[in-house]
Chains A and B, each alone.
Chain A
Amino acid sequence: DAMVIQNPRYQVTQFGKPVTLSCSQTLNHNVMYWYQQKSSQAPKLLFHYYDKDFNNEADTPDNFQSRRPNTSFCFLDIRSPGLGDTAMYLCATSRGAPGAGETQYFGPGTRLLVL
């Protein structure tokens, strides 16, 4: 009964070779998020969708893009990965705004290694 599913769990790519990470949810939540978490650091929000409304964080590099074709799925595209993009990528969902008390539910993460 997994609620937020991420595929693949581990991904190795070469410097500059595009990569796509996938997230799906069975919660029917309006909001989906992508975070980057580097070793021994807190997660850093890259962007989020409210339905189809895309919201980019100001400091998210242009190299990172996202697509949400329907309510259940959201993709993270890294157009030209650099060595510094090696990290855990976490997908999360929520029904509404955490600032209003809504919980974010996280997936298990995709660990990306850029060689």
Chain B
Amino acid sequence: AQSVTQLDSHVSVSEGTPVLLRCNYSSSYSPSLFWYVQHPNKGLQLLLKYTSAATLVKGINGFEAEFKKSETSFHLTKPSAHMSDAAEYFCVVSMDSSYKLIFGSGTRLLVRP
């Protein structure tokens, strides 16, 4: 069975410092992995996705994530946080020909001035 664990419910960083949001997944097969961001009262926006190509995936707004099969991880990073990055982030997995997304519980990113 598939599952996604986001290890931190809240992460707080200062503006200009690096961001690390952690995600581990459980999947029997080669998964498709996604990171979505949700600003308050808005829909979800795709940041990046992994689909069995390059293991280091670059996304929008300076975010990137590295797929590590041996560690079953897909952590999201950004070198320098901006105030506008404050939002909820969801790590998501899907597999095979499934239409269903399995969501992590989300990580709320706070950015301090």
Contacts and interface: CB of A to CB of B under 8 A. Distances in A.
Interface of A: 4, 6, 31, 33, 40-43, 45, 48, 50, 55, 88, 90, 92, 94, 97-101, 103-109, 111
A48 B34 CA distance: 19
Contacts of A101: 32, 49, 51-52
A100 B45 CA distance: 19
Contact of B99 (A41, A48, A109): A48
Contact of B97 (A6, A48, A100): A100
Contacts of B106: 40-42
A56 B81 CA distance: 40
A103 B51 CA distance: 10
Nearest to B49: A103
B100 A42 contact: no
Contact of B101 (A40, A41, A100, A104): A104
B103 A97 contact: no
Nearest to A108: B43
5 contacts: A90-B43, A98-B94, A99-B100, A106-B45, A107-B43
Contacts of B41: 88, 109, 111
B99 A97 contact: yes
Contacts of B104: 42
A97 B43 contact: no
A101 B90 CA distance: 17
A6 to B, nearest CB: 8
